Structure 1
């Protein structure tokens, strides 16, 4: 396994050349006019707005509770190119709220299953599934070449990395978050508005509640995702976003909506001489490659679950992983082009070609990393 040089190299290694330049569409076909007729009628979209949607390149980060409905809505609305990014596999506990997936997808890499479903929803949309973890080492490649980024993540560290990459590249970023019965959203226009670090300057994943403890109501996810899609469409069609320098709070308990004004922090990385400065997350070293290990929401009836994320993008040999796993008593549960899931004695090990992994049923971060090292040969 060797270190990759970003998203482009990984795509080449996987034999999936993705065109970086798409020919601009100057008029809609008769079928497109009919398909999108009910939104073309809207003054806020119209024919020209639909053309803008058709030519837009949108990156959706996260294919879970928020990312799933966002991807479905934008695909149905005719956004021309969608890059869908996620590091995870489909779990049974996802299905009550992530309607992009079915029981048949359990154990599959999320973005791989999602891409197939999205193409069925609208075959004219170009969907690029990207099975990588978003962190300080990968975020710049993840957002490269896109006009807009929409946040469906569940990690504050990943959000900070994504925010920083969008600030550096000058790409609009639509934030959304939801937990329990509460949700929030805002829009970041680099150079014009507060960024996520301005609004939430010192959060830590270790201090944040999780859905395995707090739970999450599917309705709050669809409400927040609808707001995010609305903001995204406004930006794509050339309108001012409503949530510029405003943070929206939604409380499903009493169906209340409130906004607070936010402003840029002059000491934040998005301002002045600090603009574009990289902020490096705490990491754990394994061999010669740097990893981050973090605990996720419990899975499979509350078993401890850990993600293992390389700082960069690797090129994993899934056949070699399968052979090693077999020698350790693991059996293959599911496998696709982008990843593999293996199970043994109440433990589950899912690894992507990019090197990110999720380990279920071990007792500690060290145990998760030890299992990773036993399964995957790590070398420079």
Structure 2
């Protein structure tokens, strides 16, 4: 008589309570991420919208995996992680640049790679999602690169330089009025210097791009060129094309379309990158730098401006500058896709360190003068 196995060969083992809690957390996070990408897609059009909707669809597939494992335990889920909640809140209020930068970090920290309950395909999805979000965030960073770059770094420079200047003067033992006047002078001088520097830097960079951008001389000269001694080949080789691609491009310019043409070697206008857009406007950079340097440089001066003196003024100034440095550091971290906390703490350490050094130097100078 044939033996019958009463136990199902492929019965799924009963999950442990710890597993169930982890799966429920994963499911809540996947639902939050899908909603995030859908919210961002509502503000986009064209290709970016389709990409974000594709990411949302992938997160929905991941949801189905955890729902299948949980069965009837997929109801009344816990709140998603605080990180996902914050992303959803930011997506509803602000633009996508900061949200995508934070989402990039969330995708890079996916636990699926080391979790046996997640499939290899899910882990691979999350790895690819990081690159997709990184590319989308890069588009936003490029649009903000001119004015916002000058604004963020201008504010940070104003904070650090003027705070260090005030601390240095305070260390010499001079009165609060002298410290205040020094801070105001540092604010005006620094803001004007930063604005002029940004204007010259961006204008020079744009002029350099103009000087290196190819002209339309090849179009004007093409009808009169000697086909047997085609100088156009030299032009395109000098621009970085291989010999074969340069010859193909030259034949196109001369109208020799009966050649063995290769479409991938043909000129396409969309191949050109508008580098001027990435550099930004010189006036925008200068104006942003002036205003935000001034705002940053004003913060350490405020306690003295409102009559504080001595250690009370130093403490207030230090506290206000510390908060501002943490904010600018976090913004830089968000824009670069790095940890906002680490960048904020690094910015704080650099700013306070510079002020401490100038204060000690001012103390030594004050003692020497006395």
TM-score bracket for the superposition, by shorter chain length: under 0.3
Choose 1 or 2 for highest CA Rg. Answer: 2
Name the one with the larger strand percent: 1
> TM-score by structure 1 length?
0.21
Higher RCO (CA-CA < 8 Å; seq separation 6+): 2
Name the one with the larger helix percent: 2
> TM-score by structure 2 length?
0.21
